[in-house]
Structure 1
């Protein structure tokens, strides 16, 4: 019995040690009948080889991305501030009247003439005004008052963005763009243009740009036609800014090229107001006609009126000397061909006019071609001259 116990213990130790070693190496064996007598602590798993789990790679955190800029806007360095010079006491006034879009063009014109001490822009716009609510602000009357106060050299008009609303015509309220509404609106626009022309102050009328709403854009086109007709009837200039705020197909755009051709945001999110770049672009369209009225060159200097040229009296004119006169010569005169000598020079005597060369150049008569030549077109063909007889003698010539 003692020997049996020792044998069993030796077997148990022998089988336990390799199992521990194998367990340390990560290798586990299948369950067998031996486990009933000698239980093992390692788990019974299948498959035969147990693989330790691999270490998971660490996930790299991405750097936070910057939010995308607004559509069409391009980030670029801030524009340098335009230096503002002090205006002269006698600076000429550019009076701007209209609604909130008129205030925008007034801001743009202020930037345009910021460095010109002789031009001062005065903004007398009313943001909520228009031609429909004349009970709120009567522009034909107020325009005369403002011109009398400011004594402007030129007036800039831009309004109409608030006029898409009902209008009282007599005792009725007419819906916008109805026939009665359009008739009354046209009459009020003509009254405004007439009131400005009566002041004898030149003015320009700036049209409306496109809006984000398709219906509003259609109405602005109709408004511009009314403004153009009223302005031209008053012998003034209408400034069309439509193409500067639409794309190639005529659709409204939020962003577009500025006055220097760089893509910028021109309109605000509501599709009605304009940004700072949009205000400057409105002023760009009005700048050329204003410079023409104010007499300013593209370099920003005023055009100097040239003094009248001195007029010579008849007694101061010198008496001309003898004038050589030549006989008129016909252009078809053959003597003109090949002339190389000036009048009064010694002309060499001409050669024989009957030579083939003279006949060809002067008279255009070509010499007669000898018989048999390629240019001999005579018919019937002329007989060829007889060829000389060949020599038959063999004597040596002395």
Structure 2
């Protein structure tokens, strides 16, 4: 009786544990339903531990006692007393041109830019500012080496003459305007001073750009007739299709803003680019004064290129340098090789082949010497 009670208690305990396991975990498929759950071969990994982040370490800041800055560029060299002056006259475009030229010749102590512009002036409104009456006094005062004129942006208006009023864009207006341009330029050329007349750039208003292109034709024709030089700057302020541009390449090829918001005035980069077109002609006319160091090599300051003992210097034959552009200065009138070569006493192998039809025997031991050793004496 006691054994039966123990067996019943054991069965009830197993059934309770099985029921508890089934309540905690339900079988997933038929195999687990009939054969039970499969024991896991690998135990489940433990849950990750919570790791506290490290406390931030406070950095000790040191007081900065000195601030390093980029070195300032050296100041430009002061202008020398006998520096040559470049007189720039005209309207507001000439004012920007003078600013660009001042920057271009900043490192040239022998060149000074003298700006005498009037922003609202022109060659039409002589009642406002008469350039033909003012320019001679400016030349007498400044005594310039070059005169640069850039004018005409304000001349697109009616002209008043002694015979009456002339409307802009008429044939009579252009005839009178060309006469005034010629008279204005002759003030410079009659004084025996080189004249550089700078053309007008393009502007944002289309009608103003078209008029500037027409006026540049008048300037070129009149200035070249009196012996001046016309400098065309049109391509520097338009695109490939000839249209006005606000942004374009500067003198270094970088894309910058060349014009102001109004499309008429020039920015600092635009002024420098305008001067870039004039700089080459100005340097050519000014000559050595544009050099930063103003050093001219002549017979008085040539460096000593011969550094030999006195016994060997007497054997050196010194000749004057020959000018590449004037070869006659070296005492010769013919180029090297013009005279026939002297006739050689011994005929050359070429002469022997032409005259005798055979070449002389090759020297003994040369690669084309096919004679047997010891036969040289027999052939002689």
Give the shorter-chain TM-score range.
Answer: 0.5 to 0.7
- Indicate conservation of the 8 Å contact 1:295/1:302, yes or no: no
- Output aligned runs, 1:1-398, within 5 Å: 83-296=75-288, 300=292, 302=294, 304=296, 306=298, 324-326=342-344, 335=354
- Indicate conservation of the 8 Å contact 1:83/1:115, yes or no: no
Q: 1:197 to 1:82 in 2, by over 3 A?
A: farther
Which digits, 9 at most, give the CA deviation of each residue in 1:285-316, with x for residues without a partner?
A: 00000000011498645583756958899xxx
* 1:196 Cα offset (Å): 1.0
- Indicate conservation of the 8 Å contact 1:94/1:119, yes or no: yes
- Indicate conservation of the 8 Å contact 2:105/2:290, yes or no: no
Deviates more, 1:136-145 or 1:195-204: 136-145
Partners of 1:152 and 1:235 lie apart in 2 by: 17
- Indicate conservation of the 8 Å contact 2:158/2:168, yes or no: yes
Partners of 1:118 and 1:140 lie apart in 2 by: 29
* 1:335 Cα offset (Å): 2.4
Partners of 1:299 and 1:198 lie apart in 2 by: 29
Higher relative contact order (CA 8 A, sep 6+): 2
Q: 1:205 to 1:303 in 2, by over 3 A?
A: farther
TM-score where L is the length of structure 1: 0.58
Instruction: Determine the structure 2 residue equivalent to 1:21.
Output: none
Which digits, 9 at most, give the CA deviation of each residue in 1:160-197, with x for residues without a partner?
A: 10001110132422221111111100100011111110
Partners of 2:225 and 2:352 lie apart in 1 by: 61
* 1:110 Cα offset (Å): 0.6
Q: 1:300 to 1:226 in 2, by over 3 A?
A: farther
* 1:139 Cα offset (Å): 1.5
Partners of 2:270 and 2:154 lie apart in 1 by: 19
Partners of 1:278 and 1:259 lie apart in 2 by: 9
- Indicate conservation of the 8 Å contact 2:288/2:296, yes or no: no
Partners of 2:258 and 2:182 lie apart in 1 by: 31
- Indicate conservation of the 8 Å contact 1:131/1:189, yes or no: yes
Q: Which of 1 and 2 has greater Rg?
A: 1
TM-score where L is the length of structure 2: 0.61
Which digits, 9 at most, give the CA deviation of each residue in 1:48-70, with x for residues without a partner?
A: xxxxxxxxxxxxxxxxxxxxxxx
* 1:339 Cα offset (Å): 6.7
Partners of 1:341 and 1:145 lie apart in 2 by: 90
Q: Secondary structure of 2:117's match?
A: coil
* 1:270 Cα offset (Å): 1.2
- Indicate conservation of the 8 Å contact 1:206/1:238, yes or no: yes
Q: Secondary structure of 1:280's match?
A: helix
Gaps of 5+ in 1: 1-77, 314-322, 352-398
| Runs of 4+ with deviation above 6 angstroms | 310-313, 336-342
Gaps of 5+ in 2: 1-69, 301-319, 322-328, 332-340, 370-380
* 1:325 Cα offset (Å): 3.0
Q: 1:305 to 1:190 in 2, by over 3 A?
A: farther
